[in-house]
Homo-oligomer: A and B are copies of this chain.
C-alpha cells in the first residue's frame, strides 16, 4: 500500500500545502495510486514513524520518505519512467531553480496567501502556525501580509515563467516533469486557498490550467476553499 501524509486544514477536503502538491503531482506523473492520510500541523505523533515532523511523507510498502525532492528522487529510482528529475544533473538544476524561485515567487505568495492560510488551517494549529512563521519571518504575520507588495513581487516572479512558457507548453519542455511540479505546487497552494493572483490570459495562467487538467484527469476534482 502507498500512503501520502499531507497537510489538512479545518476542512479535510481542502489540501493546500505546496510541498504536498509537488508530491501529489509527481504521483500523477508516474501514474501511481495512493491513499491520502491528512494530518494537522500539530499532529506530530501521526508522523513519528517517519523520524521527523513535517509533511509530505510518502510511505511506499516498506519505504518511508519525507522532503519533496527526496521523494522525487525515490520515485525516479523505483519507477523510472517517465522521469521527474532527469538524473543527477537534472536534480541539481531543480534544486537551484527551487532556491531561485524562493527569492520572489514563494515570498510573494506568502504575502498574498497568509490571511487565507490562517483562515483555512485547523483552529488547533493556529498558535503553532503563528509562532513558527513569525519566528522565521522576523515580524508579525499581519506586517508581512502586504497585498500590494505581494502583487508587485508576484508580477516580477512570473516574468521568467511567462518568458519560458511562450516558447513551450511546459516548464520542462514538450511534456511536464519535475520543474512543472516543483513550481506548480505553489500555484496549487494559491488555487486551493481560493486565490488566482496571476493573470488568467498569460502563458503561466494557461500553463496552470493545463497542469490542473492533467492532475484532475488522474486524481479527480481539486477542492478549493470557499471564499467568504
> A179–B103 Cα gap in the complex (Å)?
19
- Chain A 89-114 interface residues, beta-carbon cutoff 8 Å to B: 89-90, 92-97, 99-104
In the complex this chain forms, how many copies of it are found? 2
Q: Does A172 belong to the interface (CB within 8 Å)?
A: yes
Task: Give per-residue flags for A30-68: 1 if the beta carbon is below 8 A from chain B beta carbons, else 0.
Answer: 000000000000000000000000000000000000000
Q: Pick the interface stretch among A14-22, A80-88, A190-198.
A: A80-88
Closest CB in chain B relative to A207 CB, distance in Å: 12
B172/A99 in contact, CB under 8 A: no
Provide 9 A-B residue pairs closer than 8 Å at the C-beta atoms, listed in order of the A residue.
Answer: A88-B173, A89-B177, A89-B178, A92-B179, A96-B160, A99-B159, A99-B163, A100-B100, A103-B159
B89/A160 in contact, CB under 8 A: no
B160/A92 in contact, CB under 8 A: no
Q: Does A156 belong to the interface (CB within 8 Å)?
A: yes
A173/B103 in contact, CB under 8 A: no
Give the 5 A-B residue pairs with the shortest CB-CB distance, closest first.
A99-B160, A86-B89, A93-B93, A100-B100, A92-B173
Count, chain A residues at interface, CB 8 A:
31
Q: State the main secondary structure of chain A at its contact with B.
A: helix
> A164–B95 Cα gap in the complex (Å)?
8
> A121–B97 Cα gap in the complex (Å)?
34
Among A83, A95, A168, A174, the most chain B Cβ lie within 10 Å of the Cβ of A95
Interface residues, chain A, with chain B CB atoms under 8 Å away: 83, 86-90, 92-97, 99-104, 156, 159-160, 163-164, 168, 171-174, 177-179
Nearest neighbor of A171 in chain B, beta-carbon distance: B96
Contacts of A86 in B (CB 8 A): 86-87, 89-90, 93
> A90–B97 Cα gap in the complex (Å)?
12
Contacts of A103 in B (CB 8 A): 104, 156, 159-160
> A190–B148 Cα gap in the complex (Å)?
35
Closest CB in chain B relative to A159 CB, distance in Å: 7
Which of B90, B159, B163, B174 is the one whose CB lies under 8 Å from A93? B90
> A108–B178 Cα gap in the complex (Å)?
29
B173/A102 in contact, CB under 8 A: no
